[in-house]
Homo-oligomer: A and B are copies of this chain.
Amino acid sequence: MSKTTIESFSCPLPKMDYTTIQLAHGAGGRLSAELLEKVFLPCLGNETLNRLDDQAVLETPGGRLSFSTDTFVVSPIFFPGGNIGDLAVNGTVNDVCMNGAVPKFLSIGFVLEEGLPISELHEIVTSVRNAADKAGVRIVTGDTKVVEKGSCDKLFINTSGIGFIPEGLHISAANLKPGNKIILSGTLADHGMAVLTARKGLSFQTTVRSDTAALNGLVSSILPVGGINAMRDPTRGGAAAVLNELAVSSGVGIELDERKIPVLDAVRGACEILGIDPLYTANEGKLIAVVEADAAETVLKAMRQHPLGENAVIIGTVTGDNPGQVLMENSLGVKRIVDMPVGEQLPRIC
C-alpha cells in the first residue's frame, strides 16, 4: 500500500574545483573521481555502488549476478578496427566479466540525432549483432530515442549487461597482496590512438587499429588456472588509471618495469608525434590481471595460448611499500611515480 512516508533525502551542494561540468569530469582521472566522491556517492551511495568496481555483484536466490552499464559517445563513430556498435557490446561484456562472470544478456539504448543516415545506423546495428554473436551474448531488450539535429552528436549507445558469477569465485580490486604479479594481456594504447588518428585524419591511421574485442573468452580460458585475485580492463585513463585504482582499493603499492610494457611500433610512433603517453591511453580489448606469484607463469602461459593474449607479459609486482602508489622503473633504473591522470587526454574515446 506504500502509504508509509519515506523521509526525503537531501544533501548540501558540495564545494568543487569547478561549478560547471568540464570534459575532464568524464575522463576517468582526478576530476572524474571528484565528481564521484562529491556528487554521485553522497547522493546515491550504498554498499554495492561504493565498491566502485566496474560492475555490481548482486546476490540473488539463484547465485550472484554481475551487472554493468556503459554509455558510448565515441567520436568518430567509425574508426579503424571497429565502430561504436561493436565497441558498445565489447565494452560492457568486458566490464561484466572482469570479476570472472560469464556474460549472457545485454540491453541496448540508442540516442539518435535527427538526420543520421539510416545506412550508418544499419551498419552499426549489424556490428552490434556480430559482436554479440562473437561474445556469445544476446541483446534481449532495447530502447530508441531521437533528438533534434544539434542535440546530440550522431548517436550514443548505452549497453547494460548481466552475467553469472561462478560459485566460489571472488575476484575484486580490493584483493591485491604484496608479492602478487601484474600481467598485461597485450599491447597498450591501440584503441585510443586509432580513434585519435581517425579524428585528426592522420595518415598512419591505416596501421593503427582499435583492439576492440570481447574478453570473456580470454577470461574463461585463464580462470581455471586459479590464483587470480583481480582483473580490470584498462579503458578510459588507460593502464595508469586502472593500476592506481587497484593500488588504492587494496592499500598496496605497485612497481612496474617500463621495458616490459608492450606497445606496437606504429602506436608508439603516433603517441610520440602527438605527445601522448600510451600508459594513459584507452584500450578496449586488453586486461590487467593481478595473480599470486606462484601462479603467474601458468596464468601467463594460458593467456598466451588465447588469440587475445598472445602478447601477454608480466609487467610488475605488488609491494607492501608506498601503499596507494604506482611506481615505474625505466631502462636506466630510475623510478618515477605513475600518477592518476588529471585532465582529459582524449575526450570521447569510448
> Which of B36, B130, B141 contacts A55, CB < 8 Å?
B141
CB-CB under 8 A for A21 and B112, given A140-B67, A141-B68:
yes
B2 engages A142 (CB within 8 Å): no
Copies of this subunit: 2
A260–B68 alpha-carbon span in the complex (Å): 44
- The answer to whether B67 and A118 have CB atoms under 8 Å apart is no
Q: Which residues of B contact A225 (CB under 8 A)?
A: none
Instruction: Check B1–A221 contact: CB distance below 8 A.
Output: yes
Cα distance, A159 to B38, chains bound together (Å): 21
Q: Which stretch, A147-155, A271-279, A325-333, touches the partner chain B?
A: A147-155
- The answer to whether A142 touches B63 (Cβ under 8 A) is no
Determine whether A6 belongs to the interface, using a CB cutoff of 8 Å to chain B.
Answer: yes
- Complex: chain B residue closest to A17, CB-CB: B118
Task: Tell me which of B6, B26, B49 contacts A146 (CB under 8 A).
Answer: B26
Interface pair B146/A21, CB less than 8 Å apart: yes
Shortest Cβ gap from A234 to chain B (Å): 16
Q: Given A25-B112, A62-B61, A126-B11, are A141 and B67 neighbors across the interface (CB < 8 Å)? A: yes
Asked if B125 contacts A44 (CB within 8 A), the reply is yes
Q: Is A35 an interface residue (CB 8 A)?
A: yes
The number of chain A residues with a CB under 8 A from chain B is: 99
CB-CB < 8 A to A72: which residues of B?
145
B25 touches A144 (CB 8 A): yes
Q: Chain B residues with Cβ under 8 A from A40's Cβ?
A: 125, 142, 144
Contacting pair B23 A146 (CB below 8 A): yes
A69 close to B (CB within 8 Å): yes
**With known contacts A21-B113, A115-B20, A143–B348 Cβ distance under 8 A:** no
Top-6 shortest CB links A-B: A62-B62, A26-B146, A69-B107, A160-B160, A2-B217, A56-B140
| A–B Cβ pairs within 8 angstroms, 18 of them | A1-B217, A16-B118, A21-B116, A22-B114, A23-B146, A25-B112, A26-B144, A26-B147, A39-B122, A43-B126, A44-B128, A44-B129, A48-B140, A60-B62, A62-B63, A68-B107, A73-B151, A147-B348
